[in-house]
């Protein structure tokens, strides 16, 4: 097969690189690992780090590549561990270029030449357009954690919704997020939205784990994610066998409350989130925000309603609007039976 004008033989691994732009003397490019199975089959694209601080997921890809036997693989996996090298260089979520669209995961199918558009355009043209399925990782940066598998729930094509949901269930994690791609921040200009709307490609966004919680729990999260990739390869017919489904799944419909501080300071957590989701009540104290200079309590961060903690954090320094808690309303949650 041909990827980025490079020929990759069946049963072989090859690393390819696409030049994107020159930024103030620095080369910006995309490095991809092409894993071609012995037999023909579909192409799965795995992307990671469209947000530059979310580097934990690059380790999932590394471990997955170490475990994969190409002699058993039908088709091809294209894995991009660092999709947004520009934001990675600066250890920031978005690209620090003062553009109108600094967030690479909100700028797919863009018409401008700011760096986020150029990067995502290269991902589209060189990789997404040649793929059949997508896994796009968005795990938390240091100090925060997430716990769900997102799938596209409002594509016009019902078959696309069903395939995306099937991939989410095959990941083997008991929390599904039925993402609305045409409402709020999760639009068709995200990776998964663009893949489905523009290219008819089903995909999922796994968000399991984070950093700063200790080696043991982080190793468990890494293992869960690697098993999730293998579960998808089985679901898609790229490996023999069946995925390990959960007995039941908590399905979250639509959006959730972002519970973030108005001030910056030290987050002192009161409620520790647990897997899969922690139940909270309206007005319940979740954390305090402490002024690091005076040690005064600047804010009490409370749950806006009855529901479950969707993502959470440990004690750490957060800026105004930072990632602290996400809470889903109890009325948006339903339990569904797993597949066998």
Measured CA angle at 296 (ends 291, 298), to 5 deg: 65
Closest CA to 67 of 55, 77, 82, 54: 77
Long-range contacts of 22-27 (CB under 8 A, 24+ apart): 23/86, 23/97, 23/115, 26/89
The pLDDT of residue 184 is 61
Model confidence, pTM: 0.95
Tens digit of each residue's pLDDT, the chain (340 residues)? 788 888 999 999 999 999 999 998 889 999 999 999 999 999 999 999 999 999 999 999 999 999 999 999 999 999 999 999 999 999 999 999 989 899 999 999 888 899 999 999 999 999 999 999 999 999 988 999 999 999 999 888 999 999 999 999 999 999 999 988 776 666 778 999 999 989 999 999 999 999 999 999 999 999 999 999 999 999 999 999 999 999 999 999 877 899 999 999 999 999 987 767 899 999 999 999 999 999 999 999 999 999 999 899 999 999 999 999 999 999 999 989 886 5
Helix (H/G/I), strand (E/B), else coil: 230: helix
Going from the N-terminus, what domains does the chain have, and what CATH number goes with each?
2-252 (3.40.630.10), 259-330 (2.40.50.100)
Phi, psi values for residue 149, rounded to 5°: -120, 115
The DSSP result for 160-226, as a single string, is HHHHHHHHHHHTT-SEEEEE-TTBTTB-TTSHHHHHHHHH---EEEEEEEEBSS-HHHHHHHHHHHH
User: Looking up tokens 């991809």, which residue turns up?
Assistant: 32
- For residue 11 the two structure tokens come to 């049963």
């Amino acid at each position: 097969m041909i990827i980025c004008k490079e020929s990759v033989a069946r049963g072989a691994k090859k690393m390819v690189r696409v030049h994107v732009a020159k930024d103030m003397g620095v080369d910006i490019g995309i490095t991809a690992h092409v894993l071609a199975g012995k037999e023909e089959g579909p192409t799965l694209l795995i992307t990671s780090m469209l947000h530059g601080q979310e580097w934990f997921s690059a380790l999932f890809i590394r471990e997955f590549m170490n475990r994969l036997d190409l002699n058993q693989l039908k088709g091809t996996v294209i894995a991009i561990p660092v999709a947004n090298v520009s934001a990675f260089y600066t250890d920031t979520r978005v690209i620090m270029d003062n553009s109108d669209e600094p967030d690479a995961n909100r700028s797919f199918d863009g018409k401008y030449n700011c760096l986020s558009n150029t990067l995502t355009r290269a991902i589209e043209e060189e990789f997404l357009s040649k793929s059949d399925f997508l896994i796009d990782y968005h795990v938390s940066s240091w100090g925060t954690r997430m716990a769900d598998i997102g799938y596209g729930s409002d594509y016009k094509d019902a078959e696309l919704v069903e395939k995306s949901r099937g991939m989410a269930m095959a990941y083997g994690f008991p929390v599904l997020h039925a993402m609305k791609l045409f409402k709020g921040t999760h639009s068709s200009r995200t990776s998964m939205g663009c893949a489905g709307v523009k290219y008819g490609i089903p995909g999922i966004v796994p968000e399991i784990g984070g950093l700063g919680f200790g080696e043991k729990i982080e190793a468990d999260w890494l293992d869960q994610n690697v098993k999730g990739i293998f579960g998808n390869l089985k679901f898609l017919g790229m490996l023999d066998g069946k995925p390990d489904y959960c007995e039941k799944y908590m399905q979250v419909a639509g959006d959730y409350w972002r519970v973030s501080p108005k001030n910056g300071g030290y987050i002192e957590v009161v409620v520790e989130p647990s897997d899969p989701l922690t139940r909270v009540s309206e007005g319940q104290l979740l954390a305090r925000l402490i002024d690091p200079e005076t040690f005064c309590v600047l804010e009490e961060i409370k749950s806006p309603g009855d529901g479950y903690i969707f993502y959470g954090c440990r004690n750490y320094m957060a800026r105004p609007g930072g990632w602290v808690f996400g809470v889903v309303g109890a009325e948006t949650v339903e339990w569904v039976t797993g597949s066998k």
